[in-house]
Amino acid sequence: MEDDVLKEKEKFLSIKTGKHFLGYALIGGISNSIEIIFLFLLVEIFGIYYLIASVCVYMFGSIFTFLGRKFFVFKDKNLKNIFRQFAKYVFMFIIGITLNIFIMKSFVDGFNIHYAIAYITSILITGIIGFLWNKKITFKS
């Protein structure tokens, strides 16, 4: 039993996991950059209400990051369970957004921390949780 725990710890701290995490963060960063550009275009150029625009951008971002992380980060080429994987991915995305709102509200209103610092903290926390969920559950690598 103790050997299993040690093997799992070594696997988690491997170079492969490090590469997965960097790729995961890179795909997220690319997606966030594209989302911000599209949000600006939809609101400022096309005059779409910002909440509707943010939902559209959010949906695009979740599809982009799912596909990028599935095929390029975790090298999962299997299409058999793609809809089940996407459902797991979206489930974690919803948890992440909920956690983000909770952290932002707590840090800014509760602890009087600047919103930018609260947001960066939230992204780090939700990013790590999302990575662990997707590595262990969604893509099982």
- Please write the tens of the pLDDT for every residue from 74-114: 999 999 989 999 999 999 988 888 888 888 889 989 999 88
Residues 6 or more apart whose Cβ sits within 8 Å of residue 107: 113, 117, 118, 121, 122
Nearest to 65 by CA among 100, 87, 89: 89
Sign of CA dihedral 42, 99, 23, 74: negative
Question: What pTM was computed for the model?
Answer: 0.74
Number of domains observed in the structure of the chain: 1
Tell me, what amino acid is at 90?
Answer: V
In percent, how much of the chain has pLDDT > 70? 90
Q: Residue 32 and residue 120: Cα distance in Å, rounded?
A: 13
> Domain range holding 118?
2-138
Q: Is residue 6 pLDDT above 50, yes or no?
A: no
